[in-house]
Every structure is written in structure tokens, then in C-alpha cells.
Amino acid sequence: MKILDKIVEDKKIELKDLSSKIPVTLLEKRSLFSRQCISLKNSILNSPSGIICEFKRKSPSNNNINYETNIIDVVEGYQNAGAAGVSILTNKKYFDGDVSDIIETRDISGIPILRKEFIVSEYQVIEAKSIGSDAILLIASILESKEISKLSSLAKSLGLEVLVEIHSFDELKKISSNDIDVIGVNNRNLDTLEVDISNSEKLFDKIPDQFVKISESGISRVESILRLREIGYQGFLIGENFMKTSDPMISAYNFIKNVENEI
């Protein structure tokens, strides 16, 4: 079984147990559920660099990215570095993340928080709102077109913004909803875990201009950002490049300032 299929299978099993313990009615009573979200789309468009920084402890391809840093310090550091937003992994089994990571950083983050998770149900969308997320990630490769439309519509009704991640033109063709704000081209093949930044170059012109366009994964050089900006990309999600260093905050600061100085 491919790793992505295994992650989704495990997530569906986990959701059955979770939704029975914490029903939607309880999620909707949480104080953060009524909070007004910060626009990720606007933050990207108004940011000089358009860079979204990620907090990630581990991944299926790297079991020890960073266990030395505190998430509150990292999120504060990303904000001070000028990040357009912060992406936080909440998947426990494969990334050692948790919904508490967003709850704990919500009060100190003045930039939008993207909940990065393998979302396959409406429960997770409602949960995302209840923990203080500003936007959710939908992965086109694990969802059908109707599911993308249904989940994005629910998200928008709750005030959340939606980032849909694609890897190919076939996945792009699944998108028919007007409830989507950002389309991200993932340069990492989630089946093989191989990275090819040219994937973003190939798909850019095929993405309708109504969406904010961002490139994700495998971005570690200022030159790559400049090349993708020249093509027309407005934002960039950078994950392991900062977290794999001993000081993600300083790494993000130096990288973002170098990008800003070149544009």
C-alpha cells in the first residue's frame, strides 16, 4: 500500500473514534469557533515574499526533523521574520502533530494559521474552526471533485479559507468550486516522496487566474523563489528547509530577508 493511502486509511479509522468521543455539538461550543479568521489569501498577496513557513516535527520521509524547538517560539519567530502565514501539521501518527499545536499558538499568532491535515470529512473542517485555524488544506489526490466542493463550501460557510493542493493537471480538473481561495502545486510526489520543483513550472499556466497560486515543497534556495515569482507564483510554502535547522526562526528570518532584498 502506498504511504498516502495508508495515511488516509488510518485517518478514517481515527475519525470514527474521535467523532464519537467529541461530537460536532461540542466543537461548535468551543470559544474559538466564533472567532473571526485572518485571511490567508490577503496575507499572501500583501506580503513582500509570500512565504508561508511550516512547523513540522517529523514526516514519513524524515522521522526526526526537529524535536528541539518549542512551537510557540517558532511561530513567534516566523511572524517576526515576516512570514505571510504559518502551516501547522496536526496529524499525530505520521507527523507527531496535534490540534493542541494550533490552540496553543492561536493567541500569539497575528498571521494566519493553515491547518495542514489529511482532511476527508466535514468533521475535520468543523474541528479546524474550533481550534482556531484560519484556513484548511484539501489534498486533491485523496478527494473526489464532489468532496472538494462539499468540504470547501462548508469551510467558507464557517469563515475559513481553503487551499487546495494539486500535483498534476488531472487533479486540477477536479476543482470546480468558487469556494477555493488558493491553489498550491506540491512539488513532492506523495506516492514516491520525490521532489521536482519543475512541477510548479509546468502547471502554472493551467491554473485559472481567479485563484492565488503558490508553490509547495522542495524550495530551499532564494533563486528558486525568484524563478517561481518570475513565472507568476504569489506565494510559497516552505516546510523542512527551516525546521531541519537548529534555529528555524533565524533560518526563516535570514531567508525571507534575502528574498525581500532581491525583489
Q: Is 165 a catalytic residue?
A: yes
What average pLDDT score do residues 64-75 get? 96
* Structural domain containing residue 223: 3-262
What count of Cα atoms within 13 Å lies in the side-chain half-sphere of residue 242? 29
Contact between 206 and 173 under an 8 Å Cβ cutoff? The reply is: no
Catalytic residue among 43, 152, 186, 199: 186
- Cell numbers describing residue 72: 510557540
Catalytic residue among 161, 165, 171, 240: 165
* pLDDT value, residue 25: 97
CATH code of the domain containing 133 = 3.20.20.70
Q: Is 178 a catalytic residue?
A: no
pLDDT exceeds 70 at position 79: yes
Catalytic residue among 116, 129, 174, 213: 116
171-219 tens-digit pLDDT: 999 998 789 999 999 998 766 778 889 999 999 999 999 999 999 998 9
* pLDDT value, residue 192: 72
Catalytic residue among 216, 224, 240, 241: 216
Q: Is 42 a catalytic residue?
A: no
CA angle 162, 2, 185 (to 5 degrees): 30
Q: Is 258 a catalytic residue?
A: no
What average pLDDT score do residues 46-64 get? 94
Question: What's the structural domain count of the chain?
Answer: 1
Spacing of C-alpha 122 from chain mean position: 17
CA 65 to CA 54: how far, in whole Å? 12
Q: Is 213 a catalytic residue?
A: no
Q: Where are the alpha helices (DSSP H) in 29-70?
A: 40-46
Contact between 50 and 44 under an 8 Å Cβ cutoff? The reply is: yes
The C-alpha cell 528574498 sits at 259
